[in-house]
Amino acid sequence: MRKLVTAGLIGMCTLAAQGEYVQINMTVFGMDCPPCAYAIRSSMRGIRGVEAVNVDLNTGLVSVKLTTGNNVEMRQFNDAVEKNGFVHQSSDVWVRGTVSGSAQAPFLDVTGTRDRYALAPLASGMDLSRLIGKAVLVEGIVPQSARGKVADVLRYKTVAEAR
């Protein structure tokens, strides 16, 4: 199922080379009741570029689907959680951007935003040297960050060139 989702998202991102978040699945701690979930959903929906938000109270998972061409930054999602008094954990992300840096120290620039991540493999590493300077779709995990901060590392599962 996950492979299908990834394949679909890769397909979507071949339309353009602009960087943007495609989907974010964020785990949130502390939501015990529907008003908690409703507050999170309202806050997330208020972010320009968010297409749909689903909150599962029993797993704490907040799934956010974003519109094509958005320029939302990760900080905005963290803020939405923090302002409601909850704690954000790691997030599964599907994000388009451009690989920069070097083969030894690759970065992902989410063009159109100020977000920049050091790319680190979640399990076995990939040779990213051939992708430097190219537009890619990355599926990975943005680790938990302290309140008011955004992690500067993206632990990738897959990196695919966006044509």
Partner 1 sequence: MKFLSFWICAIALTAHAADHGPLFSYATPVNAEGELSFDTGVFGRYGSAGTQFSTGSQVGYGVKPHVTVSAFLPAMFGSGKLPESRIISGSEWTAGTSWRFLDSSKSVGRRLESTASLAVVVPGPQSATGVLGELHRAPGVEGTLSVGVASRSHYLWLGGGYTRFAEVSNDRRPDTISWSATYGYRPSKLRRGLNEWDYRGFAELTGEHSGNVVKSGAIVPESSSTTLWLGPSILAIFKEFAIEGGVQGPLFRDVSESVYGRERIRFAINLSYLKYSSHRDSH
Is beta strand 135-142 parallel, antiparallel or unpaired with respect to 153-161? antiparallel
Residue 76 in the binding site for partner 1 (CB under 8 A) = yes
Q: Is 46 in the site for partner 1 (CB under 8 A)?
A: yes
Residues making up the chain, counted from first to last:
163
The strand pair at 50-56 and 135-142 is best described as unpaired
Cβ count within 10 A of residue 1? 5
Q: Does 95 bind partner 1 (CB under 8 A)?
A: no
Decide: is 150 part of the binding site for partner 1 (CB under 8 A).
Answer: no
Q: Is 102 left (phi over 0), alpha (psi -120 to 50) or beta?
A: beta
- Given candidates 17, 25, 82, 126, which one binds partner 1 under the rule CB under 8 A? 82
- Residues 148, 78: Cα–Cα separation, whole Å: 7
Q: Choose, by CB under 8 A, the member of 5, 8, 16, 45 that binds partner 1.
A: 45
Q: Which residues pair with 153 in a beta bridge?
A: 118
Pick the piece of the chain touching partner 1 (CB under 8 A) from 1-9, 15-23, 48-56, 134-142: 48-56
44 binds partner 1 (CB under 8 A): yes
Residue 129 Cβ vs partner 1, minimum distance, rounded to whole Å: 32
Residues 73 and 113: beta-carbon distance below 8 Å: yes
User: Binding segment for partner 1 among 7-15, 16-24, 51-59, 131-139 (CB under 8 A)?
Assistant: 51-59
- Please pick, from the candidates 6, 63, 68, 79, the single residue that binds partner 1 as defined by CB under 8 A: 79
CB 100 within 8 A of CB 59: no
User: Residue numbers of the site for partner 1 (CB under 8 A)?
Assistant: 27, 29-35, 37-39, 41-48, 55-60, 71, 73, 76, 79-80, 82-87, 114
